[in-house]
Structure 1
Amino acid sequence: MATPNASLRQRGGKEKNKAFADEDHDEHIFSQAYADVQKRASKQWDYKLALGVITLLAFATRFFGISHPNEVVFDEVHFGKFASYYLQRTYFFDVHPPFAKLLFAFVGWLVGYDGHFLFDNIGESYISNNVPYLAFRALPALLGALTVVVVFLIMWESGYSLPACVLAAGLVLFDNSHVGQTRLILLDATLVFFMALSILAYIRFYRQRHEPFGRKWWKWLLLTGFCMSCVISTKYVGTFTFVTIGCAVLIDLWDLLDVNRRGGALDLMTFGKHFVARAVGLIIIPFFFYLFWFQVHFAVLTRSGPGDDFMSPEFQETLSDNLMHQASVDIQYGDYITLRHKDTKVYLHSHPDKYPLRYEDGRISSQGQQVTGYPFNDTNNQWQILPGTPNPDSTQEGQPVLNGDVVQLRHIVTDTMLLTHDVASPFYPTNQEFTTVALDLAAGDRHNDTLFEIRMEQGKQGQPFRSHSGQFKLIHFPTKVAMWTHTTPLPEWAFKQAEINGNKNVQQSSNIWYVDDIPSIPEDSPRLVKEPKKVKRLPFLTKYFELQRAMFYHNNALTSSHPYASQPYQWPFLLRGVSFWTQESTKQQIYFLGNPIGYWITSALLAVLAGIMGADQLSLRRGVDALDKRTRSRLYNSTGFFFLCWAAHYFPFYLMGRQLFLHHYLPAHLASCLVTGALVEFIFNVDPILDDETSSVIAAKKDKVVSKVPEKTRRSFQTAQERLKGQSLFATWVATAVVLAVVIYGFYFFFPLTYGWPGLNPQQVNARKWLGYDLHFAK
């Protein structure tokens, strides 16, 4: 499974061996290559004709009825919204990189759309809201159609026969999941297109390996890197494409060190050049392109928006019209304040009720006053901030609170001090309980337990502590735990409010709070007078790294259940789909589902390939060599490369804990279609059109070859080769026709679920529930 290699397979056994028994080995190779060159030159037209037909069909299937439905469908609520935010230059947050979303925004800008519609709900009308949704949907449809073309070109460039090219492209062309995902305002069309283009560009680069550092060699190397950068700049699962190409490159570099390779091993200086060139072209330059799209993202989004809450106060100060900084006020000692948790939005709250003597698991509490998180504004949420000294100087009241100060918090209603101590919290035995104590105890023996340090996020020591913009962690001074809360409610004895406890993991990002209000400030206070603030600037890398942290954190947090989520083991067998859209009045629905027949065929042949490779390795162990050298090289290097591509885009999902859906399988499914086309050719014993190993030799030594090979030898070789190829090629065409016929039937049968038209009656719906698909209108 090293690299895609269009090796020439020698067929015919004894007949061929006899024909060339007296020929020199090199002349044998040259004569084969020469005959193939002549044959390929005379048969280019059939590949071009097939490619033209497939291209027309690809555009027809992707663009047919693209205006239906004229309503917001499934995740168009997200990616259409993001395009509108770009056009409004309003800051938003998303867990995916910006490239594909910028493409949508660019399309909207081209057609003069101003971003006034925010795609808030599935089913909202595009027509009544005057949204150019056809332009938006045309982008993924275009990329989806071109993806089919690229699949054909991958097979053609790899040297496969015409039926193998048609079969691989046809499986993608008539797959309902690829069609359904590329007709809507979604990211996967961009992801899959550039993933396929990366594979094609790398194959073209690999074919230039006998002319290293030439113009074409550099062109295809850099194009490979650019396409991979577009993949990972669309979604982070694009990393799997880097793994695929990276494995191929590493094995290729390893082969360059082999002293037995054609032309001998490279000297270390030349090998170093090869290594550096690939590192620059496939890692460094793609990374700079990846950064470039974030630079565009930040340059476009300059206004405050719904994404502000995900970013730090410093970041928000770079956005114009930011409400947090407009409402922020310096906090002074003696102020009454309300504290709010950044993630859950609950207020720090207390009331006279006590913790129970024993919790449900039998542990004993302190029976102190309950401190909880409460979602609504209430007088029990008010705390007075005081200096953390036993006998505070009266002159300190009215002085600003600074970052790093040690303070006390007095609960106003119950006149008690906030405290945490080495008693286990209700839900987390490893975390500390938060409670309050009477003022006399807080000034005496329990004083130290009431001390807390203000530690502002990314704040400098001595910086003023402010409401809203001053996000901070409240660190218990003696025990160094951070005040924390979570979403699991406490039992009835705490009125199902949120638990507040002391988290020993101080670095955890969910420990962050902010001061939401200062109710003790009079309305006419000069502290409330605002001066216009200038928008601040942050270095690009500072903003980039902050956004990356937030994206990875929230992406990993997507663990909640979803009614249409599925597991990776279900994808190759198409056990589940996703409901995208329904319309009760017409009984129409869009149900995201692949072509079951196509999925099952490709999955079966993946298993067949694994079985063939396993049997070959076992037979070699037992001294039985069932395949000739070139056949085995092609099976492992070319078909094996496609199999590696499938595995790299599939198996990593088993390690993920986030929500997963069928569309995550689309890149792997495309690779399985490539495997299917290649394996059908292998099974029916069809010679490829040309070996890329010998094609480079022919290109360099054409005149020598023609003069060296006798005319009689060329004619006899061509006659034998054409006869053998004709027999196996016919069988391959038959197999391709049969497979595509049943695949087209599956595509047509599930057509109404893919295109959302026409509506189906209950009997027709139930007829399509092959594996218990949870379709609507089945009754």
Structure 2
Amino acid sequence: MNEKRIASQSRNNKIKWWLRNILCPLLFTIISFKLRLQDIDANKSVVWDEAHFGKFGSYYIKHEFYHDVHPPLGKMLIGLSEWLANFDGNFEFESGSTYPSEVNYKVMRQFNAIFGSLCVPVTYYTTLWMNFKFLTTLLITIMITLEHSYIVLSKFILLDSMLLFFTLTTFACLCKLNSLRDQQMTKKWSLWLLLTGINIGCVCSVKWVGLFITVIVGLYTIIDLYRHWCNNQLGRLTYYKHWLLRIIYLITIPFLIYLFCFKIHFQLLYKSGTGDSSTNTLFQVNLEGTKIKQGPRNLLFGSHFTMRSHGLSPNLLHSHPQLYPDGSHQRQITGYAHFDNNNVWEFQFIRGQKFDLGKLYLISDGAEVRLIHNNTRSNLHSHKVPSHVSRGNWEVSGYGNDADGDDHDNWVIEIVDQLPSANPNYPKEDDNLVHQFSTFFRLRHKSLGCYLTSTGLSYPAWGFSQAEIVCKNSWSKRDKSTWWNIEEHWNENLSIDEDYLPPKSKFWTDFILINFAMASSNNALVPDPDKFDSIASDAWEWPVLHRGLRLCAWLKDTHRYYLLGSPFNTWISTLSIFVFFGIMIRIAYKWRRQTLLLTENDFWSLLIQAILPFCAWLSHYLPFAIMGRVTYVHHYVPALYFAILIFGFVVDYTFGSSRSYIKYPVYLTLMGGCIYIYILFAPICQGLQGLGAKYLKLQWLRTWDIVI
């Protein structure tokens, strides 16, 4: 009898295991794919940010270099989807334009929907590894499966589903690691540590928002290492091995993945394109079809040229007729990345210097020069007037003209590096002369001793948000912010050497500069006080669903999509954050009064189920609440996931261990409420059709603009 009972129990356990680990997640995955693929091609127009990311993907098809504020992995995956759809790259993805018949946008959208759909099984296993009650796992998974904002963002060619997927997989790996914390140094634990690092690398390579979940992994790692530090039975050598493994798997590998994405990015985009100006001269001149024309190798007094900074903001030296609003009130000197006639300068002798009119004088190391702006004919000038944005530097301005000026117009050439030609047969050039492309030099102000510098900062609107140029006291020749090179050069008295090939750019330099350019572009995404952005929203509006976002043209004869979180999921998860504080205060109070015993396992359960999800919500929400850049509803998407996990903890803690007659009605009510609200609001993510009057029942708040 005992053997039969044991066999029966074993069968029941196997059935329960298959139900929980295979059948349930499979069912949820099927439902997830069904909802996200449903009528995915119904709207035949370029929807919302498909205008950006579809176009970025097409650049990989055409191999044209572009610049964007986000790392390249997500956009390379979009490019892969376009390649799989046999797209030739010639459609421009203009906002609102209709997809032509030859563009298989359905395959592109389906590819993106895969990431959104897989968020559901990832959520399911995450909650299992968090050791929630099974009913809590089902509740959270249903909420993620039926979340309107997740569904609608999965239907289009966007980065949000990819970002959410890799954010979820990173947190899932962390939860799995926590479940294996007593098996550290085993092959299984090492594998999941490796997977955590790979997912960190992927999420950070889609958007920098991935750094927020990386912070959570770092927080957990610090706590875990502190646990080992307090373990007196653990040898120091083993402890240092723990450090080494985490450094390799959680820092080195993610960075190498991030680096590798840019390596592929540069390899694929080998033609000149719209993003050339965000890079340095050597990168641009080596692009196929580059806009930079090769000029004479040596520069003379009287040569016209443009010159580009080697600083973290690799802009061309620029000036224009506008004046500084304060300081000297002289002409502005700025850095400007794009081709413009106001970037052209001319080398001239300093005043009082004797020269032979019939002789050609080469620009060499140590030469004293004046730089004259070609259009305004003002001199590049500096004086003891404080710079306008940075502190501790002197203003650089455009002053006087050919006849009018003073000693503060004089600069000294200091050559700091010379690069050989990429043509191995090209003869070695004179290292004391300034050459186009290959000579890196500094300009020292003769009177002040400071150096012409691009600070990497930008002027306000009065300076057209262009780069700040100053005169800076620099004590090191290796200060790249003071380095410059000649980009274009014109001189009718010299011939062009066709055998010369410019040096190849260095990958590490390109990598650093493109990342700084991304940061600068991100910082430039600030609200324009002179314009009203009807689709922008503030962070305080997201947790309360104060407003949504129309994703496309609001015409009655088209499928219309409205980006709005599920009212059930969003409001109840926001409320749960306040309840969470009450629970944590109660636990802390009872523990302090010694009426609650917290074992080590209790601590780790509380950490992974409550504390880390709250920290993750905070890290994904708070930065958008305090940053100055323009923000939109979709920025709350990752934070909403962790808010739902917090809600799961609140329900699990409050009702998970209750009696059946309390627990089951509560869970069934919550699941039913989630399903009902999804069905009621399903049109906002599956497509509103026809007259808006029939959707008046969805207009719960006056600030929602669902109805036409």
Residue 642, structure 1, aligned to residue 601, structure 2? no
Which of 362, 377, 393 is 2:355 aligned to?
A: 393
Which of 105, 116, 126 is 1:144 aligned to?
A: 116
Q: State the AA in 2 paired with 1:552.
A: A
Residue 279, structure 1, aligned to residue 247, structure 2? yes
Deviation at 1:231, TM superposition (A): 0.9
Superposed, 1:342-381 pairs within 5 Å as 348-349=319-320
| Distance in structure 2 (CA, Å) of the matches to 1:497 and 1:556 | 11
Relative to 1, partners in 2 of residues 1:360 and 1:78: Cα closer, same or farther, differing over 3 Å?
closer
Contact 1:588 1:758 in 2 (8 A): yes
Contact 1:347 1:377 in 2 (8 A): no
Which of 488, 495, 511 is 1:544 aligned to?
A: 511
1:254-285 Cα offsets, whole Å, 9 max, x none, are: 223445xxxx7322222222232222222222
| Distance in structure 2 (CA, Å) of the matches to 1:410 and 1:632 | 69
Relative to 1, partners in 2 of residues 1:459 and 1:647: Cα closer, same or farther, differing over 3 Å?
farther
Which of 77, 82, 88 is 2:51 aligned to?
A: 77
TM-score with structure 1 length normalisation? Answer: 0.75
- 1:752 corresponds in structure 2 to 683
Q: State the AA in 2 paired with 1:643.
A: F
- 2:427 corresponds in structure 1 to none
287-296 vs 323-332, greater mean Cα deviation: 323-332
Superposed, 1:149-228 pairs within 5 Å as 149-228=121-200
Superposed, 1:573-588 pairs within 5 Å as 573-584=544-555, 586=557
Deviation at 1:438, TM superposition (A): 6.8
Which of 282, 286, 289 is 1:321 aligned to?
A: 289
- 1:604 corresponds in structure 2 to 575
Which of 262, 274, 277 is 1:294 aligned to?
A: 262
Deviation at 1:433, TM superposition (A): 7.3
> What SS does structure 1 have at the residue aligned with 2:551?
strand
Deviation at 1:750, TM superposition (A): 3.4
Contact 2:536 2:630 in 1 (8 A): yes
| Distance in structure 1 (CA, Å) of the matches to 2:545 and 2:56 | 30
| Distance in structure 2 (CA, Å) of the matches to 1:138 and 1:402 | 60
Contact 2:177 2:193 in 1 (8 A): yes
Residue 477, structure 1, aligned to residue 476, structure 2? no
Relative to 1, partners in 2 of residues 1:455 and 1:587: Cα closer, same or farther, differing over 3 Å?
farther
> Where in structure 1 are there 5+ consecutive unaligned residues?
1-33, 491-495, 687-724
> What SS does structure 1 have at the residue aligned with 2:319?
strand
1:287-310 Cα offsets, whole Å, 9 max, x none, are: 222222222112222222211110
| Distance in structure 2 (CA, Å) of the matches to 1:540 and 1:133 | 34
| Distance in structure 2 (CA, Å) of the matches to 1:188 and 1:116 | 25
Residue 620, structure 1, aligned to residue 551, structure 2? no
Contact 2:315 2:335 in 1 (8 A): no
- 1:705 corresponds in structure 2 to none
- 1:53 corresponds in structure 2 to 27
> What SS does structure 1 have at the residue aligned with 2:209?
helix
Deviation at 1:146, TM superposition (A): 0.7
The structure, 1 or 2, with the larger RCO (C-alpha pairs under 8 Å, 6+ apart) is 1
Q: State the AA in 2 paired with 1:282.
A: L
> What SS does structure 2 have at the residue aligned with 1:275?
helix
Deviation at 1:343, TM superposition (A): 8.7
- 1:89 corresponds in structure 2 to 63
> What SS does structure 1 have at the residue aligned with 2:552?
strand
- 1:22 corresponds in structure 2 to none
| Distance in structure 2 (CA, Å) of the matches to 1:567 and 1:497 | 23
Relative to 1, partners in 2 of residues 1:517 and 1:234: Cα closer, same or farther, differing over 3 Å?
same
Deviation at 1:144, TM superposition (A): 0.7
Relative to 1, partners in 2 of residues 1:629 and 1:333: Cα closer, same or farther, differing over 3 Å?
closer
Superposed, 1:187-586 pairs within 5 Å as 187-259=159-231, 265-326=233-294, 331-335=299-303, 348-349=319-320, 384-388=346-350, 390-394=352-356, 398-402=360-364, 405-409=367-371, 419-422=381-384, 432=395, 434=397, 436-437=399-400, 442=405, 446=406, 448-453=407-412, 462=432, 464=434, 466=436, 476-479=445-448, 480=450, 482=452, 486=459, 488-489=461-462, 518=490, 527=495, 529=496, 531=498, 534=501, 536-561=503-528, 562-584=533-555, 586=557
| Distance in structure 1 (CA, Å) of the matches to 2:199 and 2:467 | 48
- 1:713 corresponds in structure 2 to none
Residue 67, structure 1, aligned to residue 41, structure 2? yes
| Distance in structure 2 (CA, Å) of the matches to 1:483 and 1:281 | 39
Which of 74, 81, 88 is 1:107 aligned to?
A: 81
Relative to 1, partners in 2 of residues 1:661 and 1:616: Cα closer, same or farther, differing over 3 Å?
same
1:82-119 Cα offsets, whole Å, 9 max, x none, are: 21111222111222222122222222223332322232
Relative to 1, partners in 2 of residues 1:280 and 1:437: Cα closer, same or farther, differing over 3 Å?
closer
| Distance in structure 1 (CA, Å) of the matches to 2:520 and 2:670 | 44
Relative to 1, partners in 2 of residues 1:427 and 1:204: Cα closer, same or farther, differing over 3 Å?
closer
- CA RMSD of superposed structures (Å): 4.3
Relative to 1, partners in 2 of residues 1:296 and 1:501: Cα closer, same or farther, differing over 3 Å?
closer
530-539 vs 159-168, greater mean Cα deviation: 530-539
Deviation at 1:432, TM superposition (A): 4.0
Deviation at 1:373, TM superposition (A): 8.5
Relative to 1, partners in 2 of residues 1:517 and 1:74: Cα closer, same or farther, differing over 3 Å?
farther
Q: State the AA in 1 paired with 2:369.
A: V
Relative to 1, partners in 2 of residues 1:419 and 1:573: Cα closer, same or farther, differing over 3 Å?
same
Relative to 1, partners in 2 of residues 1:318 and 1:417: Cα closer, same or farther, differing over 3 Å?
closer
| Distance in structure 1 (CA, Å) of the matches to 2:461 and 2:619 | 37
| Distance in structure 2 (CA, Å) of the matches to 1:505 and 1:772 | 54
> What SS does structure 2 have at the residue aligned with 1:348?
strand
- 1:761 corresponds in structure 2 to 692
Relative to 1, partners in 2 of residues 1:734 and 1:88: Cα closer, same or farther, differing over 3 Å?
same
Relative to 1, partners in 2 of residues 1:439 and 1:210: Cα closer, same or farther, differing over 3 Å?
closer
1:438-463 Cα offsets, whole Å, 9 max, x none, are: 76664xxx3x1221346799877745
Q: State the AA in 2 paired with 1:540.
A: F
Q: State the AA in 2 paired with 1:76.
A: E
Larger Rg: 1
Contact 2:332 2:397 in 1 (8 A): yes
Superposed, 1:29-44 pairs within 5 Å as 40-44=13-17
Q: State the AA in 1 paired with 2:648.
A: G
Q: How many residues align?
A: 673
Contact 1:340 1:347 in 2 (8 A): no
> What SS does structure 1 have at the residue aligned with 2:183?
coil
177-186 vs 394-403, greater mean Cα deviation: 394-403
Contact 2:545 2:570 in 1 (8 A): yes
Deviation at 1:589, TM superposition (A): 3.3
> Where in structure 2 are there 5+ consecutive unaligned residues?
1-6, 420-430
- 1:593 corresponds in structure 2 to 564
Deviation at 1:326, TM superposition (A): 4.2
Contact 2:438 2:503 in 1 (8 A): no
Deviation at 1:418, TM superposition (A): 5.5
1:702-735 Cα offsets, whole Å, 9 max, x none, are: xxxxxxxxxxxxxxxxxxxxxxx7x33x533322
TM-score with structure 2 length normalisation? Answer: 0.82
Contact 1:171 1:598 in 2 (8 A): yes
Contact 1:645 1:671 in 2 (8 A): yes
Deviation at 1:772, TM superposition (A): 0.8
| Distance in structure 2 (CA, Å) of the matches to 1:535 and 1:339 | 15
Contact 1:338 1:348 in 2 (8 A): no
Deviation at 1:154, TM superposition (A): 1.0
1:202-234 Cα offsets, whole Å, 9 max, x none, are: 333333333333332222221121112111111
- 2:632 corresponds in structure 1 to 661
Residue 733, structure 1, aligned to residue 681, structure 2? no
Deviation at 1:437, TM superposition (A): 4.0
> What SS does structure 2 have at the residue aligned with 1:610?
helix
| Distance in structure 1 (CA, Å) of the matches to 2:301 and 2:460 | 31
